Amino acid sequence: MNLSAALCNFEGAKYLLFSDNITPLVYYSHLPITIISLILGFFILFKGRKNLPNQILFFITFFFSAWVFLDSIFWASNRSDVIMFVWSLQILFEPLVHAGCLYLIYVLANKKDAPFMTKLIAGALYLPLIIFVPTAYSLSGFDLSSCLSVEGPIALYYTYLIEIIFSLWLVIYSFRKYRIFKVKDARKEILNLTLGAVLLLFSFSLGNIISSFSEDWRYAQIGLFTMPIFIGFLVYSIVKFKTFNIKLVAAQALVIAIIILIGSQFFFIQNSINRTLTAISLGLIIIFGWWLVRSVKVEIKRKEELAIANAELQKLDQAKNDFINIASHQLKTPISVIKGVISLVQDGTMDSFNEAKKKEFFEGARIKCQKLEIIVKDILNATSLINSKYSVMDKDVEAIALRELFAKIIKDFESEIKEREIEVRLLPSKEILPIIYGQRKYLEEAFSNLLTNAIKYTPSPKKTSDIRDTRIGKAFININLKRGGDKNVIISVADNGIGISKEDLPKLFKKFSRGQNAVNMYTDGTGLGLFVIKEIVEGHGGKVWVESELNKGSTFFVDLPIREQGGVNIKEYIIKKSADTNNNSQ
């Protein structure tokens, strides 16, 4: 049997889409929009094939474009079977756009996929549509006089019902998320995204809904104009998800809208003068638009960079303030003892004490004076190292016997070592150590800092009341000096102290940093000791690093270049190495 379709009372369409019976408005609204939406869809998919939000947005734009394309076929066709077919498909596709938007907002707000239950519910809502669309409940018949399908309850009510459900679901969900988010930026983001999605759906649906009920299908066209703008909105938000800036979006949206409007005029300008003028306008607007968007982008980027720099500065400022507090305490302590002892002498109170006690007072003042010297030297060295990158200079270099230097440093810290009952051992070398060349005062400072650090963070087990201290036995610090390779010496200072946690290791050698475990051991840290060591060692062409385990102990290693008999002149080597480092860091 050959069923030929009933035909409407006008000429058939050429190439499915083109017919003289349609007002230009339809072409103006449909074709550019289909193309633009598809382009946006493929663009977003190209930008992130594997990302879920990108995939969802492609899904939305695909079904929207398909819908628009089918709609243009609908307009052009005079065949009832074609119209019935495309209309049915449109009924199926339209709610998918709404469901897609809901899914998209969920995924963007939560940064993860929706739970299976949610998908199941959404699917359950959609299911009746799939079941009933091929039946008479959807499109019950065809009106040849108006060339339109007759909509049944499924097409008329159910589709709009589920679209409203999806849209409301989206809005309520977004509103709840907005309330939960405390951070201003996250709130702004969800607000913008929802606004975009809602306006998209609203403009899409409103036209259709009004048209359905008033039976004047021209109203549907209005909605289509705004669609690409909102799709662009969502595309942008996904591509630039981190910095969703309304200014930029508005600028881009405006420019795109103007380009579309002017470009579309080509579809129905007949006059060649008009065409030329339109072409010129389009060209100008594209150039201007590109420039405008670029300036807005630059401005936004600058603002972001400024905000980041600002945050960094504030952190550094806080660290400096902490340092000043600590330094002031460190300086005041020895001062108060010295001041106290002197005042005892001056007001005669000292005479009330016997000789032994007098000696002890003066010894106390001497110890504190020495301590004060060290702290002041520490702070001054650190300050000069902070202000300019240190690199040892030719004129400051002299020969240094490492073993001797370390022996002296250990003696300087004798009282503290005794007080803490730590055993400090300068281990004997298996071979004769070569001579190091360097700036003595700074190397002494660096090595002193290494020892101070080890002493500070290695309390004697029986003295500590820290219940986390799991060490047993005696506290020790082992200093080992040995030849590294051909051209260097390796110094290691190993203690069985409180150790350093993994989180603290990377920031250890930065200015003002103090490991978390050190916070409780407050006595002497200025937070600059390790920074100073690093600057001095690297300024000599060497390296410093640490191996540590929490509550087991730490070992600090320093690698320094040496002098070889008849080999490389070490002064030149150091200067060259420093120059290389400077070049590399530029």
Catalog residues that contact another protein under the rule CB under 8 A: 325, 329, 332-333, 335-337, 339-341, 343-344, 347, 349, 352-353, 357, 360-361, 364-365, 367-368, 419, 459, 463-466, 520-523
CA distance 349 to 338: 15
CB 546 within 8 A of CB 508: yes
CB nearer to another protein: pick between 6 and 335:
335
* DSSP code, position 568: -
Residue whose token pair is 């055993």:
423
Closest contact distance (angstroms) between CB of 353 and another protein is 7
Q: Which is nearer to another protein, 310 or 349 (CB)?
A: 349
- Please state the closest distance from residue 380 (CB atom) to another protein, in A: 20
Give the nearest distance from C-beta 54 to another protein in angstroms: 49
211 vs 370, beta carbon nearer another protein = 370
Specify the DSSP class assigned to residue 155.
I
Distance CA 502, CA 496 (A): 17
- By beta-carbon proximity to another protein, the closer residue of 302 and 359 is 359
- What the block records as the tokens of 381 is 């060295």
Q: Which is nearer to another protein, 143 or 360 (CB)?
A: 360
Q: Give least dist CB 423 to another protein, A.
A: 19
Minimum CB distance to another protein, residue 555 (Å): 23
Query: From the CB of 331, what's the least distance to another protein, in Å?
Result: 9
95 near 126, Cβ under 8 Å? yes
Per-residue tokens: 474: 């005696």
CB of 407 to another protein, least distance (A): 24
Question: Could you tell me which of 89, 127, 104 has the C-alpha nearest to residue 51?
Answer: 104
Give min distance, CB of 420 to another protein, in A: 9
C-alpha–C-alpha distance, residues 35 and 312, integer Å: 46
Burial 365-381 (b: 16+ CB within 10 A, else e): bebbeebbebbeebbeb
Q: What is the CA radius of gyration of the chain?
A: 40
Question: Which of left, alpha, beta for 499 (phi over 0: left; psi -120 to 50: alpha)?
Answer: left
Q: What minimum distance in Å lies between the beta carbon of 500 and another protein? A: 17
Nearer to another protein, 515 or 541 (CB): 515
Q: Which one, 98 or 471, has the nearer CB to another protein?
A: 471
Closer by beta carbon to another protein, 467 or else 472: 467
Cβ closest to another protein, residue 226 vs residue 458: 458
Q: Shortest gap between Cβ of 494 and another protein (angstroms)?
A: 22
- d(CA 340, CA 492) in angstroms, rounded, equals 40
Q: In what order do the strands lie in the sheet with 475-483?
A: 422-426, 475-483, 488-495, 553-561, 543-549
Cβ closer to another protein: 469 or 547? 469
553-561 and 488-495: which strand pairing?
antiparallel
From the list 147, 227, 237, the residue with the least C-alpha distance to 192 is 237
CA-to-CA separations, 422 to 371, 413, 451, 481, 522, in angstroms, rounded: 18, 11, 12, 20, 18
Cα–Cα distance list, 186 to 109, 206, 238, 244, 284 (Å): 9, 29, 14, 10, 37
